[in-house]
Structure 1
Amino acid sequence: MREKICALITGAGAVVNAWDPVIRALQPYYDFPLTSDSANSILARLIYLLRWFSCLKTEHGATQYKVHLELLNEIKISISRELKEAQSSGEITVRTSLIACAKFFLLSHSKKFLYATTNWDSVGSDAIKKELNKTHHINIYPLHIHGHIDTPSGIYLPTEMVKEPYRSNEEEMTLGTMHGTTWRALEPATRIILFGISLSPLDAELQQIIACGLDFDCKKEVIIVDPNHQEIAQRVNLLINPARNVSVSGYHPDNLAKKHTYTVKRQNNKT
């Protein structure tokens, strides 16, 4: 029998006040209150402008490219600083439902698991490590798919890809290696839990990582824990190779006892 391996992947939805530090980092540039949605819009547009100006082979293009690249680096440093302070002060913490989910779906399934996150902070891995060390002596080596606050230049913003005109070869290699490591680690996993991660259409590269991880010859189940599990399940099913045996289910974080089944019935399997 194939060894059971579980994967837990978390996003901003796993953290209380996740966007507050990011909003604080961006607020000085605007004269009206920002929201998490507007923060996403600001960062996505900045990435677009960098791509655009990198293509303009004019003096204006070169000048604006430099201006926006400096702004990008400034914002990344500010975001990292705010997140570090928020993590240290306890302003950002994991949702209690994440720990409940880990106990219910992860520890009950396998003794071997991997933890990956799109979050730039470490509150998720720290909390899970603390909880597990109540009964086991373990360490956790999280895969930070979108970079980490310890390296501000390497954090990965909304709509970005590994290959960007402003990214150094070293940064590209670091991010690319992390993405490749993540999908290869997902391949043998028989259970993949998505907690508080939306698989946004604006993050096609993350979707591709998940798709690669699912396209492996073993029976898999994807468990989505999120208030919007139905919408996310639709996105997950779009990533599944019809030839693979993958079941999909969803749960609300506040009710892990109620299962919603979203598995697509395939002619080539009995799932």
Structure 2
Amino acid sequence: MREKIGGLITGAGAVANAWNPVIRALQPYYDFPLTSDSGNSILARLIYLVRWYSSLKTEHGATQYKIHLELLNEIKISISRELKEAQDSGEITVRASLIACAKLFLLSHSKKFAYITTNWDSVGSHAIEKELNKTHHVNIYPLHIHGHFDAPSGIYLPTEMVKEPYRLSEEEMTLGSTHGMAWRALEPATRIILFGLSLSPLDAELQQIIACGLDFDCKKEVIIVDPNHNEIAQRINLLINPARNISVTGYHPDDLAKKHTYTIKRQNKKT
């Protein structure tokens, strides 16, 4: 019998006050109060502008590319600094429902699991490690597929991809290797839990990592824990190879007892 292996993927929804440090890093550039939504918009547009100016083979393009690339690096450093301070001070904390979810759906299922996160901080892995060490001596080595605040230049912003015209080859290799490790870690997992991960349509690279991880010959189930589990379940079902029969269920983080079923009955068509 194949050993059961689990997978836990967390996003910003796993952390309370997750956007506060990011907003503080961006606020000095604007004269009105920012929100998480406007923060996402600012970062996505900045990435667009750096890409655009990198493609212009003119003096103006070269000048603007330099200006925007410097701004991008400045903002990444500021975000990283704010996040580190917020983690050290306890301003950002893991949501209690993540620990409850891990105990109910993950730790009861398997002794081995991969922990993957799109977050730039470490509060999630630290909290789960602390919980596990109540009964076992373990260390968790999370895969930060969007980078970590310890390496500001390597943090991955909204709409970015591994291959970018402004990214150093060493950074591209590091991010690319982490993404590869993530989908390979998900391949043998028989239960994959998404917690606080919106699976945004703007993050096609994340979708592809999960799609690759799901397309493997073992019985799989995906459990989505998020207030918008119905919306996310639709996005997950789009990533599943129709030749695979994969169970998809959803839960609200405040009600882990109420299961919502989103499994698509496949006809096992070959693709």
* TM-score, L = length of structure 1: 0.99
Alignment pair present for 1:206 and 2:206: yes
CA contact (8 A) 2:162 2:176 kept: yes
Show the counterpart of 1:15: 15
Q: Distance in 2 between matches of 1:207 and 1:268?
A: 22
**What is the DSSP-based 3-state SS (H/G/I as helix, E as strand, rest coil) of the residue aligned with 2:221?**
strand
CA contact (8 A) 2:242 2:267 kept: no
Show the counterpart of 1:162: 162
Q: Distance in 2 between matches of 1:195 and 1:2?
A: 25
Alignment of 1:134-149 (within 5 A): 134-149=134-149
Deviations 1:7-52 (A, max 9, x none): 0000000000000000000000000000000000000000000110
Show the counterpart of 2:250: 250
User: How far apart are 1:257 and its partner, in Å?
Assistant: 0.6
Corresponding letter in the other structure for 2:90: G
Show the counterpart of 1:127: 127
Q: Distance in 2 between matches of 1:80 and 1:125?
A: 18
Show the counterpart of 1:65: 65
Deviations 1:55-86 (A, max 9, x none): 10000000000000000000000000000000
Q: Distance in 2 between matches of 1:158 and 1:11?
A: 13
CA contact (8 A) 1:193 1:223 kept: yes
Paired positions, count: 269
Alignment pair present for 1:25 and 2:25: yes
Deviations 1:150-207 (A, max 9, x none): 0000000000000000001000000000000000000000000000000000100000
**What is the DSSP-based 3-state SS (H/G/I as helix, E as strand, rest coil) of the residue aligned with 2:102?**
helix
Alignment pair present for 1:196 and 2:186: no
Q: Distance in 1 between matches of 2:185 and 2:244?
A: 17
CA contact (8 A) 2:191 2:221 kept: yes
User: How far apart are 1:3 and its partner, in Å?
Assistant: 1.1
User: How far apart are 1:268 and its partner, in Å?
Assistant: 2.4
* TM-score, L = length of structure 2: 0.99
Show the counterpart of 1:116: 116
CA contact (8 A) 2:250 2:260 kept: yes
Residue identity (%) = 88
Alignment pair present for 1:56 and 2:70: no
Corresponding letter in the other structure for 2:268: N
Show the counterpart of 2:105: 105
Show the counterpart of 1:37: 37
Deviations 1:189-230 (A, max 9, x none): 000000000000010000000000000011100000000000
CA contact (8 A) 1:80 1:149 kept: yes
User: How far apart are 1:245 and its partner, in Å?
Assistant: 2.0
- Which blocks of at least 5 consecutive residues in structure 1 are unaligned? none
CA contact (8 A) 1:218 1:245 kept: no
User: How far apart are 1:114 and its partner, in Å?
Assistant: 1.0
- Which blocks of at least 5 consecutive residues in structure 2 are unaligned? none
Alignment of 1:64-83 (within 5 A): 64-83=64-83
CA contact (8 A) 1:183 1:209 kept: yes
